Structures are given as C-alpha cells and as structure tokens.
C-alpha cells in the first residue's frame, strides 16, 4: 500500500461496538500504527500538560483552550495526515481520551516505541 491509501488493520470496526476500555485499547493502538502519528500524539499531550500547568500557575482560562488545541490538533494532524483515518474520538470520545493517556504512559515506560 502507498502512504496515501494505508489503512489501520481494524479500519472496518465501529469503535462504538466495544463494551469496555480493555476491549477498546487494542483497537485504539491499531489506529496509531504510524510512528509519526504516535509522535504527534506524544508532542500534543506533552504540550497539553504544559498548558495545564500554566493554567494552574496563572489562573488564565485561555490556557485550557490552548491545551485542548495542542492535544487534539497534533493528534488530528497525525490521523488525517499520516494514518489516513478518522480519530476514534469522533465516535468514542471518553475511551479515546483515556487511550491517549494510556498510550502516553506506555510510551514513557517503553511499552510502545516512538
């Protein structure tokens, strides 16, 4: 497959069909098979945490918007630009949000390679 037609292995699965996060997470990881997408997720999550820290330090609520823009913006560039899929957050927002942070932890602990 060429990079423009690549699809995640589970592209035909509806993320709403999962009844637990434990079932959902392997699907979530399959939607992040491209290293560039994972790197963008990691960068966006790191910047989102920096924005949260700045929000707490300054009390300025615009940092919350900046954090959301960083987290979702970087992730969506990874999905639309490299994975060529739609983020699962469109159909399963809570599980996807949880997946972002579990994957972030898994990257830090070396379980997932950047």
Return mean pLDDT, the chain.
89
Q: Are 51 and 58 in contact (CB under 8 A)?
A: no
In the chain, domain spans: 42-114
The gap between the terminal CA atoms of the chain, to the nearest Å, is 22
Residue 29: predicted pLDDT: 95
Residue-wise pLDDT for 66-99, tens only, equals 999 999 999 999 999 999 998 888 889 999 999 9
CB distance 67 to 48 below 8 Å: yes
- Between CA 80 and CA 84 the distance in angstroms is 5
Residue 2: which of 74, 80, 78, 84 has the closest Cα? 84
pLDDT tens digits, one per residue of 23-67: 999 999 999 999 999 999 999 999 999 999 999 999 999 999 999
Confidence of residue 11 (pLDDT cuts 50, 70, 90): low
Cβ atoms of residues 77 and 97 within 8 Å? no
Q: Which residues have CB under 8 Å from 55's CB, separation 6+? A: 61, 63, 64, 67
**pTM for this model (two decimals):** 0.84
């Amino acid at each position: 497959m060429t990079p423009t037609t690549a699809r995640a292995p589970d592209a035909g699965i509806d993320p709403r069909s999962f009844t637990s996060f434990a079932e959902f997470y392997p699907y979530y990881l399959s939607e992040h098979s491209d290293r560039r997408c994972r790197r963008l997720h990691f960068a966006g999550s790191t910047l989102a945490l920096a924005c949260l820290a700045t929000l707490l330090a300054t009390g300025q609520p615009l940092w919350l918007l900046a954090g959301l823009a960083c987290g979702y913006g970087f992730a969506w560039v990874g999905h639309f630009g490299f994975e060529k899929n739609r983020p699962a957050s469109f159909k399963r927002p809570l599980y996807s949000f949880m997946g972002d942070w579990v994957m972030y932890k898994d990257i830090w602990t070396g379980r997932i390679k950047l």
